[in-house]
Structure 1
């Protein structure tokens, strides 16, 4: 019985400590644990919401970037098409100018050839006349004075 009395005394002595422990646990639950869980839940919700918003913003930015790149490619293609059209126009103008210059040069060459041929004909006639005159002079110088010019021929 002695042990029971000692046990009863110990239980009775530990009872205020047990009650204080239970009160401390209840106070912890009410004062610390619940507000902490509530704050952590709010923080988690805010973090998740912020991450969702960030993902949505990233997706919107990627869509906008894709649209911008598409417009940029279209603008580059348009610029290249315009440049190609200008180059073709300049090339056709250059070809037309070259053809015109070639035609003018050919006309000038034809006119010059005609002038040279005409000059050659005149020069031949002058040479023939000069040859005739020279041959007459030579015949007069070689033949005696009284001989006729037509007889020598």
Structure 2
């Protein structure tokens, strides 16, 4: 099966949980979107905000990796994340995250990405929570998230510390 590429839209605080736990979760824990993905597919998280609902606006690509296997699995969350009836059991996929990647703003890439180029309403499609990317878009985002030798940008770890304060 051919490798595909995906962009999930999640606020940064949830992205950081997923990166730390080695998983991706989209669309409030829905199973169906995750079932469309295959092992080795590329995956990028885009975070419009730091947290929901009124967190700092970010508009950044915040994590990048590859799906580790074909398994879609369900978890039982701790009490802080359970629904009113203690029934929130989200579906997830294992992801091998690039822990050296750094958050990258979307704005400088708008003219170069297939899903944004010549589309002033590009953000509207992100409301679905998950979109398929072209290989071109995935590779461009992945390269932008890798600092050049000698370049200093805040790492995901330092961003995590900043957001925790």
Q: TM-score normalised by the shorter chain: which range applies?
A: under 0.3
- So what's the TM-score if we normalise by structure 2? 0.11
Structure whose residues are more often strand by fraction: 2
Q: Which has the larger radius of gyration?
A: 1
- So what's the TM-score if we normalise by structure 1? 0.12
